[in-house]
Copies of this chain bind each other. A is one copy, B any other.
């Protein structure tokens, strides 16, 4: 940690000005992207939701550290929850919302080459098949949720997250019916 990064208080190495290197310096660790994944696809906004909801079992000190770091890097913001004076709501910034295409490509690649489970990869499959139009719809929904942007969705259309959720539930239900398959 040596050079000041942008105008924020976070410092990162800046080993080089290569975009791939700089991106790696932002999420080249085992947890940052997992947290963002849970916020983007799981809709989690609170510390406890992220702590207990994650399949991978992040430790609370690491979660606290990464949330702080992601805020300093400009990927998250934090606000008070009106319903509970100690509760904080974390929001994605535009910078984080535009990670959706990267998440989609990562998911698509992992689905092909790594030992994914069916119920957890159905979402990646849907996202891949939907392509950039679906990614854009999803990003618009996230802007509505997290940035208060006006919703562009025609009323009555299911949200992308609902579609992903429905596909997941369907696989889980099918697997429960036919446990041997």
Contacts and interface: CB of A to CB of B under 8 A. Distances in A.
Nearest to A41: B20
Contact of A106 (B30, B102, B121): B102
Nearest to A96: B113
Given A15-B56, A17-B121, A22 B102 contact: no
Given A24-B30, A24-B33, A105-B105, A17 B115 contact: yes
B56 A19 contact: no
A167 interface: no
Contacts of A106: 19-20, 23-24, 102
A111 interface: yes
Nearest to A75: B113
Of A23, A29, A116, the most chain B CB neighbours within 10 A belong to A23
A14 to B, nearest CB: 8
Contacts of A19: 106-111, 114, 116, 120-121, 124
A21 interface: yes
Given A18-B120, A19-B106, 17 more contacts: A5-B115, A6-B115, A16-B120, A18-B55, A19-B108, A20-B34, A20-B37, A20-B103, A21-B37, A22-B110, A22-B116, A23-B106, A23-B107, A28-B33, A98-B109, A101-B105, A102-B102
